[in-house]
């Protein structure tokens, strides 16, 4: 009887450990769309390495401009060619992967001229990429899971209004996820105010191209301090560590996979807001197999 009891306790301990490990497990977010040599969206999701795919980018919008998507090398939106991605998007979603449209980017023509302009952009995004209706949906009839704010230019005004307007559409049925890719210096110069709304589900902070708050040569202190500030001060569901997937993917901030898994991740995974790792980008990940080498540790 005692032996049976001990076995039961041992089994229960194993179950608890497995559950605890799965609770700590993070996901990997990837950016796709800016290099025709990175494979299709369907192939990206078929790797099973990613939990989120950010389609990059919608770099032209706001201030009365006609919004325009730019998926370099993959398709020409001017002739409706990008609607072919609808099937790929649905195949990704069928695998449980969230597919999100990233607006902005490092090079683009975008800014919000007023609160009303922000609301108009939200309406456009809802009707053309989310659950609304339009005859000119650039990616076809697939309904994306949300919008990613990769704002690195323009002005810092009215992004909070855009976030609130997009979030309000969640009441129409399917939840609209909001994500963001701020720079690691805190607070972010562009969307700092928007992030304070508490409406963002996932925030993948760019811990690269910013030496004061990134990892360098076995020195984790700057990254660790910035991580603690982000997780303490930003009311998001989960915070992700944003990294380049290869040395060539950024000017600075690449972390060798061994350093990431042995030094960096153990120091940040104890945060209840830890969500995982974001990588720029699928093209560079293909060169290094970075996501495959870190996935079991994320």
Q: Using CA atoms, how far apart are residues 231 and 27, in angstroms rounded to an integer?
A: 17
Q: Would you state the structure tokens that stand for residue 218, as one six-digit string?
A: 């076995």
Secondary structure (H, E, C), the chain: CHHHHHHHHHHHHHHHHHHHHHHHCCEEEEEECCCHHHCCHHHHHHCCCCCEEEEEEECEECCCCCCECCCCCCCCHHHCHHHHHHHHHHHHHHCCCEEEEEEEECCCEECCCCHHHHHHHHHHHHHHHCCCCCCCCCCCCCCCCEEEEEECCCCCCCHHHHHHHHHHHHHHCCCCEEEECCECCCCCCCCHHHHCCCCCCEEEEECCCCHHHCCECCECHHHHHHHHHHHHHCCCCEEEEEEECCHHHCCCCCCCHHHHHHHHHHHHCCCCCEEEEEEECHHHHHHHCHHHHHCCCC
Burial of 84 (0-12, 13-18, 19+ CB in 10 A): middle
Residues labelled catalytic: 152
Q: Give the list of residues 6+ apart from residue 1 with CB closer than 8 angstroms, or none.
A: none
Q: Would you state the structure tokens that stand for residue 105, as one six-digit string?
A: 């980017």
Q: Would you state the structure tokens that stand for residue 87, as one six-digit string?
A: 């099937």
């Amino acid at each position: 009887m005692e032996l049976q009891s001990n076995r039961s306790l041992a089994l229960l301990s194993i179950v608890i450990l497995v559950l605890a490990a799965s609770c700590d497990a993070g996901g990997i977010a990837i950016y796709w769309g800016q290099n025709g040599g990175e494979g299709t969206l369907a192939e990206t999701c078929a790797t099973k390495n990613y939990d989120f795919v950010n389609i990059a980018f919608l770099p032209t919008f706001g201030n009365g401009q006609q919004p325009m998507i730019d998926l370099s090398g993959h398709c020409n939106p001017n002739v409706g060619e990008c609607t072919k991605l609808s099937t790929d998007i649905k195949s990704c979603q069928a695998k449980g992967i969230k597919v999100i449209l990233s607006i902005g980017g490092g090079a683009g023509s975008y800014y919000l001229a007023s609160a009303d302009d922000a609301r108009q952009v939200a309406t456009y995004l809802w009707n053309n990429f989310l659950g609304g209706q339009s005859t000119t949906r650039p990616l076809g009839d697939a309904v994306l899971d949300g919008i990613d704010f990769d704002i690195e230019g323009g002005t810092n005004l009215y992004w909070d209004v855009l976030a609130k307007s997009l979030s309000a559409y969640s009441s129409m049925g399917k939840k609209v996820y909001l994500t963001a890719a701020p720079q690691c210096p805190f607070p972010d110069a562009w969307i700092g105010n928007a992030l304070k709304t508490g409406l963002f589900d996932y925030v993948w902070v760019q811990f690269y191209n910013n030496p004061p708050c990134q990892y360098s040569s076995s020195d984790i202190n700057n990254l660790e301090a910035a991580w603690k500030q982000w997780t303490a001060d930003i009311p998001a569901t989960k915070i992700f560590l944003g990294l380049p997937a290869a040395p060539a993917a950024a000017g600075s901030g690449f972390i060798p996979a061994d350093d990431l898994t042995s030094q960096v991740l153990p120091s940040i995974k104890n945060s209840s807001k830890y969500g995982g790792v974001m990588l720029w980008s699928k093209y560079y990940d293909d060169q290094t197999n970075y996501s495959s080498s870190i996935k079991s540790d994320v």
